[in-house]
Structure 1
Amino acid sequence: MNDHRCFCDLAPLYALDLLDPEERLWVEAQVVDCPDLAEELAGYQAAMGAMPYTAPPVPMAADLKDRLFDKLGLDPVAPSTDLHLQTPPTEPSEPEKFAIRSGDLQWKPHRIEGVECALLFLDEVNRMRSMLVKVSAGVVYPRHEHRGVEEIYMLEGDLIIDDRTYFAGDYIRSHPNSIHAPWTKTGCKFLIRSCIDDNYDENLVAQFS
């Protein structure tokens, strides 16, 4: 992907889900920086959603199979009434859903003292992860730069980012290339989805502190 990106070119492809992860993140970052683009993107998504319904359905001819066998010079195969000879339904290669019970969460200490994490899902293809995080009172998380979109949903306590305090029920989204160092007064617990490749370079502390 070159540096000459155009929102009007990529937005329709975003609505069709044809962009690679880097391009999708770029489109989402533009929407965050310029809310007016959100309306334009929503228009594309609405148009794409209506497309499957604009084409009239084409019914399959009842004798299509017989005509095909006749064209190939084959004898029609009578449907089997023997249940033992019928092909069993195939099982999906991947489970349709996955769940973790609260009692089965595996909490592990983070490299930052006072922080514990329970990994819920790791998407190595898109370089994203979903986790539950518990933070003790007074902990300051290291300043870091986001390489992708970060989403946080507060469950308990308080979390302070850029002089704004968030509480249970609040949703926070940080766009790529943003930098912050969250901290908490009383401790907190939240659900987070973030990029595996976020930058924790120590130079960020000196540059932005």
Structure 2
Amino acid sequence: MSPDPCFCELAPLHALDILDERERLLVEHELAHFPELAAELAAYQRAVAVLPYGAPAVAVSADLKTRLFERLDLEKPKTPAVCVPAVPYFALRAAELPWEPFIVPGTAIARLRVDEARRELVGVFRAEAGVKYPDHLHAGFEEIFMLEGDLEIDGEIYGPGDYVRSQPSSMHGPSTRGGCMFLIRTSLDDTFIETVT
């Protein structure tokens, strides 16, 4: 039986999300016993998060779709008719918010919109008094608009009416003293740096 690989070998692969279950558990075990390794893993995750931005932008040819269909010897698709929904908007009353427990104890989320194509979530988030949200790395922009209570991020306290936008590849671990509720728009691909307890 081969010895377990060291954290230094697994951390870059963990950041790329290509570990099998056993290797992922090894990384989580090491992080639980040696919290100082979280900084090393976070550095790899920041590097991975910016990889797509290093590729040069390539303009897509206007006739690419037509040429592909011709090459595949397929009939060009017809332009679909524009469908106007019967109700041009969606509304949800506060009393109807679909609250569900979130993975962090003492928190709940009402998902208002999940866009899998853009990997984005819009929802209302609430946390009970004393909740400390684990450090997490943002895969994209995170926007928060405070509705109630207090939210502390990096030593700053935000309250009702305040707006906070976090940049991609940034990370923080917010907390609340008295509890809070806010509107959030965030990536579905954010990564926890700390273990959720």
TM-score range normalised by the length of the shorter chain: 0.5 to 0.7
Equivalent AA in structure 2 for residue 3 of structure 1: G
> Structure 1 segments of 4 or more deviating over 6 A?
none
Match of 1:149 among 134, 141, 144: 141
Deviates more, 1:139-148 or 1:103-112: 103-112
Aligned match of 2:167: 175
Cα distance, 1:94 vs structure 2: 8.0
SS at match of 2:95: helix
Spell out, residue by residue over 1:97-145, the C-alpha distance to the aligned partner (whole angstroms, 9 max, x if none): 1111212111111121110111111111100011111111110001000
Spell out, residue by residue over 1:67-93, the C-alpha distance to the aligned partner (whole angstroms, 9 max, x if none): xxxxxxxxxxxxxxxxxxxxxxx8525
Does the 8 Å CA contact 2:139/2:189 hold for their aligned counterparts? Answer: yes
1:164 aligns with 2:156: yes
1:184 aligns with 2:176: yes
C-alpha distance in 1 between matches for 2:159 and 2:53: 40
Aligned match of 1:110: 102
Cα distance, 1:2 vs structure 2: 6.1
C-alpha distance in 1 between matches for 2:110 and 2:100: 6
Aligned match of 2:93: 101
Aligned match of 1:18: none
Task: Count the aligned residue pairs.
Answer: 124
List runs of 5+ in structure 1 lacking aligned partners: 14-89
Greater relative contact order, per chain length (Cα 8 Å cut-off, separation 6+): 2
Does the 8 Å CA contact 2:134/2:193 hold for their aligned counterparts? Answer: no
C-alpha distance in 2 between matches for 1:199 and 1:152: 17
RMSD of the alignment, in Å?
Answer: 2.7
Aligned match of 1:3: 54
Equivalent AA in structure 2 for residue 196 of structure 1: L
C-alpha distance in 2 between matches for 1:126 and 1:96: 22
Cα distance, 1:186 vs structure 2: 0.8
What TM-score do you get using the length of structure 2 for normalisation?
A: 0.57
Does the 8 Å CA contact 2:146/2:181 hold for their aligned counterparts? Answer: yes
C-alpha distance in 1 between matches for 2:53 and 2:113: 31
Aligned match of 2:114: 122
Does the 8 Å CA contact 2:150/2:177 hold for their aligned counterparts? Answer: yes
What TM-score do you get using the length of structure 1 for normalisation?
A: 0.54
Cα distance, 1:167 vs structure 2: 0.6
List runs of 5+ in structure 2 lacking aligned partners: 1-51, 60-81
Q: 1:180 to 1:94 in 2, by over 3 A?
A: farther
C-alpha distance in 1 between matches for 2:102 and 2:194: 18
Q: 1:142 to 1:94 in 2, by over 3 A?
A: farther
SS at match of 2:150: strand
C-alpha distance in 2 between matches for 1:181 and 1:94: 42
Residue identity over aligned pairs, in percent, reads: 42
Equivalent AA in structure 2 for residue 130 of structure 1: V
Aligned match of 2:66: none
SS at match of 2:54: coil
